[in-house]
Structure formats: structure tokens, C-alpha cells
């Protein structure tokens, strides 16, 4: 696999994680470098880990992964997005999305949900007999950069949404889960 193809693959894989980073950023009033690093590192780690797992489990679990990955991603993102929507809608008018807490548990669930498709990519990389360690390094690095940029963009333009940020964030998460589900059910 050429470096250009690997970079394009990495950018494609990082898009879901970047969208979730935007969603998270819309619900944090004062985002710090700590928030940016927590999100970018968690997403980058799992976008690199999942292809590695897929690479080594290629033949044993391929049919199971392909049957359920879209369901898992959809359910996890719908639950998180629904919770975010519920909290934003029930919050008093004076309150913003500041009740949102960027916890390790939340990031872990989001990172796993957005990287499940990378598991299937690892299976493909195994079939192509590529250097998996080189590949996951590129995938992780690009995911880190894309998520960092996504957070900065969200903070720049997210304030325009004001109190609707939580609603927008919840809708984005549910839409990502639905997109993953529809793609896998009807276009694969």
C-alpha cells in the first residue's frame, strides 16, 4: 500500500472521531489543552489499536466483526447522543451545556464506537500483507491531528450556537451512529 493510500485511509478513518470531537467541544464552555489532548489521544489510540487487533484476528473473527460492528457503533453513539440531547433539552434556559463532563468513561465509549470500522480495516490490511506497525502509526498520527483541528474549529464557531450546542452535539452523535449503521447495512 502506497503512502498516499495509507494517508487517505487514515483521514477517512479519523472523520468519525473528528466529528465526535466537534460534538464534545460544543458542550465544554472553556476548553483547555487538557481537553484537546484527552480527546485527540484517546481517539488516536483506538484508531491505531483497532486495526492492530483486526490484523491479528483477521481470519478467526471476520464474519462476526462484519455482522455486528455497525450495530455496536450505532447503539453506543445513539445512547451517548440521546443522553446529551436529553440533558440539553431538560436544562434550564439559563444553563448552558456546561453540565457535560468529558470523563474517561465517556471518551472510552466514544473512541471504541468510532473505531470499530478500523477493526475491519485491520482485516483488510492483513489481506494486503502490509507493515501493520507503520500503518497504525500513520493512522494514529493523522487521527490525532484531525481531532485536534476539529476541536479548534468547533471552539471557534461553536459559540455561535450558544445554548443549542448540547442539542447540536447530541444530534451529531446520533447522526454518526446512523450513518455507520446505514452504510454497513445497505452500502457494503
Lowest mean pLDDT among 72-81, 84-93, 153-162: 84-93
C-beta separation of 174 from 77 below 8 A: yes
pLDDT tens per residue, range 155-177: 877 656 555 656 766 777 688 77
Confidence at residue 92, expressed as pLDDT on a 0 to 100 scale: 43
pLDDT of residue 160: 62
Secondary structure tally for the chain: helices H, strands E: 6, 0
**pLDDT, the chain, mean:** 79
Q: Which of 147, 161, 58, 163 is nearest to 100 (CA)?
A: 163
Query: Domains of the chain: which residue ranges?
Result: 3-186
**CA-CA-CA-CA dihedral for 123, 78, 166, 24, to nearest 10:** -20
Chain CA centroid to CA 100, Å: 17
pTM of the model: 0.72
- Give phi and psi for 104, each to the nearest 5: -60, -40
Segment among 18-27, 163-172, 174-183 with least mean pLDDT: 163-172
Q: What is the model's pLDDT at position 39?
A: 94
Amino acid at each position: 500500500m502506497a503512502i498516499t493510500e495509507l494517508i487517505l485511509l487514515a483521514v477517512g478513518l479519523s472523520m468519525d472521531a473528528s466529528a465526535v470531537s466537534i460534538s464534545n467541544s460544543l458542550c465544554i464552555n472553556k476548553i483547555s489543552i487538557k481537553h484537546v489532548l484527552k480527546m485527540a489521544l484517546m481517539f488516536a489510540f483506538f484508531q491505531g489499536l483497532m486495526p492492530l487487533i483486526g490484523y491479528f484476528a483477521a481470519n478467526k473473527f471476520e464474519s462476526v466483526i462484519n455482522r455486528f460492528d455497525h450495530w455496536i457503533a450505532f447503539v453506543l453513539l445513539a445512547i451517548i447522543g440521546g443522553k446529551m440531547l436529553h440533558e440539553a433539552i431538560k436544562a434550564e434556559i439559563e444553563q448552558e451545556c456546561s453540565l457535560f463532563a468529558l470523563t474517561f468513561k465517556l471518551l472510552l465509549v466514544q473512541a471504541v464506537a468510532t473505531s470499530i470500522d478500523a477493526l475491519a480495516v485491520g482485516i483488510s490490511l492483513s489481506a494486503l500483507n502490509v507493515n501493520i506497525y507503520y500503518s497504525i502509526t500513520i493512522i494514529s498520527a493523522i487521527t490525532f491531528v484531525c481531532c485536534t483541528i476539529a476541536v479548534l474549529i468547533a471552539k471557534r464557531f461553536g459559540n455561535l450556537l450558544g445554548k443549542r450546542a448540547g442539542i447540536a452535539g447530541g444530534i451529531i452523535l446520533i447522526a454518526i451512529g446512523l450513518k455507520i449503521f446505514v452504510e454497513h447495512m445497505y452500502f457494503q
